Amino acid sequence: MKKLILMLSVIVFGTASLFAQGIGLSGYGRYYAGYKAFNGNDDLAISQTTFNLSFDKTTSFGAIKINPMLYFYNSDSLSLRLREAYIDMFFTNFDLRIGKQQVIWGKADGVFITDIVSPKNLEEFLLPDFDEIRTGITAAKLDFYVTDNHTLEAIWVPVFTPTIYPSTNSMWAPKPDFGISLPGNPPIVIDNSKKEVQTSLENSEFFLKYSALTSLVDFEIMGAYTWDDDPALGKNVEFTPVNGHPVPTKITVTPEYHRLSLAGGSFSTTLGPFVLRGEAAYYFGKYFQTTNPMVNNGLVQKDYLHYLVGVDFSLWDINFSGQFIQKAVMDYKDGELLETPMFKGQYNNMATFLAHYSCINETLTFEYFMYYDFNYDDALIRPRILYDYSDSINLQLGANIFTGNQGEFGQYDKNDMIYGKIIYSF
């Protein structure tokens, strides 16, 4: 497998040398500052300077793109990310892309349902633009054009890339809850010995999608044999006899990634002034934490359905979009599964709402976006104003407001902030 990956790298960079003449450069520089201004203080929560560079060239027989991103945090921390670095090869009926790349699937806004090829970077939760939340994967992608409007897309991913979580001292670190409550509060030990997926052919990931553009509806059908990007937290409780009775003395939590299969699809169609959208994925055998850590290593496997229905329309020159999203756990037993910010009970219901209005020749934009979780009664509200000062300079002023005291959004209730961004594009 290592030889195969090395060979792919040689192909990518060897082909890149053929394009060395006349490579185009584009990108942007951005300064981003956020202040915790809604909790009785005005602490600088984030100060970030970003340089996004894109080197690319396209010819009749192929293309190349290299996209590094450089982040300076608070003037004392530097992070370099290679977002994409790939080559395209064009043929009569198909295209082949090899290298590090982002893949975007599905019709959802702000939600990942079938859009699971590129894993997420959650170091800043869901606040960055989605093209920055998605991380690049090392993959080979084949697009076969059955006809002009029908495409078959196949992806092979030889190297597993998991979700990137915030560091434990980050303001976006999720509240730890292993769902363990035992007499004496025994210590919890984290065992990371299984938190790695070895690179091998049998551990590869495979994705397949068929898409069609018709006069009535656009739709996609997909399937995947992949790894769950989020580790399951297995638990083992050790006991020591005390006065003839077993007493829990240590709890070992073992994060481990597991195989995951899923099938699904998405569609969009126009009905009068409305655009109707839908997307669904059925996950086979996902590992969930149980309320009893001493049963099955604290884990059970359940199928679950993740779907949304959405509608887009315009009224008074304002663009509106609404989505209803649900996760439904199959074969559910009351009290069996541990409540987490992502799952509470059998049905987990969420909605999103977007209002977007532009004026002054579309140089000034007002936007309001909101996530709302029905199960935890928590929300993330994101109003912002965008102004194109010139063709190159964009100014933004916005807020991130978290409501509730638990759940995916409520756990960050103390992280409300206002922010500003200055973006220079070239």
Residue spans per domain, the chain: 2-425
pTM here is 0.87
* 177 closest CA partner among 261, 117, 101, 235: 235
What pLDDT is stored for residue 424 in this prediction? 97
What pLDDT is stored for residue 20 in this prediction? 55
Tens-binned pLDDT, residue by residue, of the chain (426 aa)? 655 455 445 445 555 554 556 788 899 999 999 998 766 666 888 899 999 999 999 998 999 999 999 999 876 688 888 999 999 999 999 999 999 999 999 889 889 999 999 999 999 999 998 888 999 999 999 999 999 899 999 999 999 999 999 988 888 988 766 666 655 667 778 888 888 899 999 999 999 999 999 989 999 999 999 999 999 888 887 777 777 676 677 778 889 999 999 999 999 999 999 999 999 999 999 999 888 777 778 899 999 999 999 999 999 999 999 999 999 999 998 888 888 888 888 999 999 999 999 999 999 999 999 999 999 999 999 999 999 999 999 999 999 999 998 899 999 999 999 999 999 999
What three-state secondary structure class fits 114? coil
* 192 closest CA partner among 225, 170, 165: 165
What pLDDT is stored for residue 296 in this prediction? 77
- Range 88-92, long-range pairs (CB < 8 A, 24+ positions): 88/58, 88/62, 88/63, 88/64, 89/15, 89/61, 89/62, 90/60, 90/61, 90/62, 90/63
What pLDDT is stored for residue 11 in this prediction? 47
d(Cα 406, Cα 377) in Å, to the nearest integer? 8
2-425, what's its fold? Porin (2.40.160)
Position 187: which residue type? P
What three-state secondary structure class fits 196? coil
Residue 84's contacts (CB-CB under 8 Å, 6 or more residues apart) are 65, 66, 67, 99, 100, 101, 102, 136
What pLDDT is stored for residue 6 in this prediction? 52
